[in-house]
Amino acid sequence: MNYIIMTTEGEYITITKDEAKNLANVNSGIVFIPSIEEFFNLKYTYRIVPDTDKYRRMIRNKTIKYGVLNDGTRVVKKYGLWVSKINNDCIIYPKEHPEIENGTLMTEDEWIKKRESIKKIDGPKNE
């Protein structure tokens, strides 16, 4: 299992389990991380968490700025709030749209692929 270093600068660095254990034994200073072949200043460490779906969704939630709701509504994150891409006065509340709250908001490309896969399953409509 890998781990993710969350930095105070908002960056995310994936490291191995052994590297995470080694970092736990170091109090401060600059350390070399072999898997990324870089030196890292521990002063900028916010958290080190397991690389699981839960944390991947949390990271994605913090970093995604544009998305598409399950119903096809395009949304944009402005000043920490989700709003409709068409009407910036229309606030989209995460409590009403679980895909925002649980980190499964789709990008435009993901939404198009999902829609096309649903069309393939349903097949063409014959009238």
What is the tens place of the pLDDT at every residue in 81-92? 999 999 989 999
Please check whether residues 78 and 31 belong to one and the same domain: no
Q: Dihedral of the CA atoms 46, 100, 64, 3 (nearest 10)?
A: 40
Does residue 124 surpass a pLDDT of 80? Answer: no
Please check whether residues 69 and 24 belong to one and the same domain: no
- Expressed as residue numbers, the domain containing 42 is 3-53
Extract the tokens encoding 15: 């490291």
Split into its structural domains, the chain has a count of 2
What is the per-residue pLDDT for 123? 62
The confidence band for 64, taking pLDDT boundaries of 50, 70 and 90, is confident
Does residue 127 surpass a pLDDT of 60? Answer: no
Mean pLDDT over each residue of the chain, to the nearest integer: 87
Q: Flag whether the pTM goes above 0.75.
A: no
Please check whether residues 24 and 69 belong to one and the same domain: no
Please check whether residues 8 and 44 belong to one and the same domain: yes
Going by their DSSP bridges, the two strands 38-41 and 30-33 should be labelled as: antiparallel
Contact 92, 73 (CB under 8 A): yes
Flag whether 127 is in a domain.
no
Does residue 114 surpass a pLDDT of 90? Answer: no
The confidence band for 122, taking pLDDT boundaries of 50, 70 and 90, is low
